[in-house]
Amino acid sequence: MGARHSQPVSVPEQEEIMAETGFSQANVECLYQRFQVLDKEEKGYLSKSDLEGIGTLAINPIGDRIVGAFFQDGRETADFRTFVQVLAHFRPVEESASSEGVNSRLSKLQFAFQLYDQDKDGKISRAEMLEVLRMMVGIQVTDEQLESITDRTIQEADKDQDGALSFAEFAKSVEKLNIEQKMSLRILK
């Protein structure tokens, strides 16, 4: 894995992080090294521009949202703990996992739901859905088409007919998907 096994890395709050995220010590150290690489000016925390400076993220259609996930609640900085907490959602699921851990299916879905739901009202409104769709689709698609697609998406999943998707409805609409695999990174095992 890492090339620097010989040097012990002093990771702040290592024990707490390992306990709450379930990462192994080696993984935490690797993540800390990555954190340090991203934090180019060695401030000790990450700002948005640090993450935006990742080239391939900049041309990711939902790159903004992903970066925003690290800076919840209007925060401007992200310390290492936050960094790891977000990434912990993408740990592969163990066989014997309960539905309580931070990398359980439920938790992963909640994370994804948050990315859709920007105003944090617990529902994905039509406008929010439209916004996400607009980000993911090429410029050839007209606004009318986008609106129709959005309507269709909401209509398919909206059971209580309130014109928005609650978390339960969202979870139901993706129940056939293999979320455990789609939202797991092997290297974070």
Find how far residue 158's CA is from the centre of its chain. Answer: 24
Other CB atoms closer than 10 Å to residue 22's CB: what's the count? Answer: 15
- Return the range that interacts with another protein (CB under 8 A); candidates 7-15, 96-104, 144-152: 144-152
Of 6, 7, 10, 37, the one binding another protein (CB under 8 A) is: 37
- Return the range that interacts with another protein (CB under 8 A); candidates 2-10, 14-22, 95-103: 2-10
Would you state the torsion angle of the CA atoms of residues 26, 90, 53, 138, taken in this order, to the nearest 10 degrees? 160
> Contact, 17 vs 28, CB < 8 A?
yes
The 3-class SS string of 30-78 reads HHHHHHHHHCCCCCCCEEHHHHHCCHHHHCCCCHHHHHHHHCHHHCCEE
Of 12, 44, 53, 163, the one binding another protein (CB under 8 A) is: 53
Give the relative orientation of helices 80-88 and 25-38 as an angle to the nearest 10 degrees.
120
Taking the complex as a whole, the smallest distance from the CB of residue 39 to another protein amounts, in Å, to 8
Using rule CB under 8 A, residue 57 touches another protein: yes
Using rule CB under 8 A, residue 63 touches another protein: yes
Residues in touch with another protein (CB under 8 A)? 1-4, 30-31, 33-34, 37-38, 40-41, 43, 47-64, 66, 76, 87, 90, 112, 115-116, 132-133, 135-142, 144-145, 148-149, 152-153, 156-157, 173-174, 176-179, 181-183, 185-189
